[in-house]
């Protein structure tokens, strides 16, 4: 399968130490499962087989994460995925072990036996507080951007505003919500990867 240009761009923007690790993982996935497709989800490269998640990788400031969707738990508390915080290619398990695991996962996918995550119960919508609604209405750009955010992004801002304990804190949070919304920034914009 051809490489996805978005994955090329992701690797190019990664920290210098992470690039060879990400390239190695990518090459290994394609060697193990030649017809695996590439995509980007949640700002990270994913590898798919028949529309199902096969593996993912992510580059951070000081480490790389690798996850294989074979049903084993992700997130050991030490980095994203099942392999801890990877800082060099040498931190990865041996290539043959990763190839075996990727091929076993591809076989599960082909057999329709891929383990599925339980779907999270959606959180109920929160009512828009009057003071936040008024502040957004006073800035049409902020109101339009806020309305265009997905429900979860709007909920994060509303939750943040209504949990303020002091009126001054609430006012500051409303002003920040309006300013960031006007710039098209979701609540956790600082933590989003480009």
C-alpha span between 115 and 125 (Å, rounded): 30
Cα–Cα distances in Å, from 75 out to 30, 39, 72, 83, 149? 24, 21, 10, 8, 28
- Is residue 153 in a domain? yes
pLDDT in tens, 148-169: 998 888 999 999 999 999 999 9
Q: What integer is the mean pLDDT of 41-65?
A: 91
- Is residue 123 in a domain? no
Do 84 and 174 belong to one domain? no
Do 95 and 157 belong to one domain? no
Do 105 and 139 belong to one domain? no
How many structural domains is the chain composed of? Answer: 2
- Is residue 116 in a domain? no
Do 106 and 145 belong to one domain? no
| The pLDDT value given to residue 1 | 63
Do 66 and 32 belong to one domain? yes
Do 106 and 20 belong to one domain? yes
Structural domain including 83 reads 5-110
Q: What integer is the mean pLDDT of 137-152?
A: 92
Q: Is the pLDDT of residue 140 over 80?
A: yes
Do 83 and 145 belong to one domain? no
Do 27 and 95 belong to one domain? yes
Q: What percent of the chain has pLDDT over 70?
A: 91
Who has greater pLDDT, 50 or 194? 50
| The pLDDT value given to residue 191 | 64
Do 63 and 143 belong to one domain? no
Dump the DSSP string for 66-132. Answer: EEE-SSSPS--SSSSBSS--B-SGGGSPPHHHHHHHHHHHHHHHHTT----PPPPPPPPPPPPPHHH
Do 83 and 35 belong to one domain? yes
Who has greater pLDDT, 76 or 145? 145
- Is residue 22 in a domain? yes
C-alpha span between 114 and 54 (Å, rounded): 9
- Is residue 152 in a domain? yes
Do 89 and 11 belong to one domain? yes
pLDDT in tens, 67-117: 998 877 776 567 777 888 899 999 899 999 999 999 999 998 888 876 665
pLDDT in tens, 1-25: 678 899 999 999 999 999 999 999 9
The CATH number linked to 54 is 3.90.1150.200
- Is residue 115 in a domain? no
Who has greater pLDDT, 130 or 122? 130
Do 85 and 12 belong to one domain? yes
SS3 category, 13: helix
Q: Is the pLDDT of residue 194 over 50?
A: no
Who has greater pLDDT, 110 or 136? 136
């Amino acid at each position: 399968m051809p490489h996805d240009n978005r994955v090329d761009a992701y690797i190019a923007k990664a920290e210098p130490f992470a690039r060879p690790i990400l390239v190695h993982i990518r090459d290994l996935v394609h060697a193990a499962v030649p017809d695996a497709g590439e995509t980007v989800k949640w700002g990270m490269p994913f590898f798919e087989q028949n529309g199902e998640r096969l593996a993912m990788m992510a580059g951070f400031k000081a480490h790389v994460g690798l996850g294989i969707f074979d049903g084993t738990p992700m997130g050991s508390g030490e980095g994203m995925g099942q392999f801890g915080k990877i800082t060099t290619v040498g931190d990865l398990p041996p290539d043959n072990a990763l190839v075996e695991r990727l091929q076993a996962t591809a076989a599960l996918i082909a057999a329709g036996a891929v383990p599925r995550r339980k779907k999270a119960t959606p959180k109920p919508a929160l009512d828009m507080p009057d003071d936040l609604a008024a502040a957004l209405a006073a800035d049409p750009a902020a109101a339009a951007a806020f309305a265009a955010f997905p429900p979860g992004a709007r909920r994060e801002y509303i939750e943040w505003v209504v949990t303020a304990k002091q009126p001054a804190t609430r006012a500051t949070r409303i002003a920040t919500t309006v300013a960031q919304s006007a710039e098209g920034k979701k609540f956790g914009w600082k933590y989003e990867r480009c």
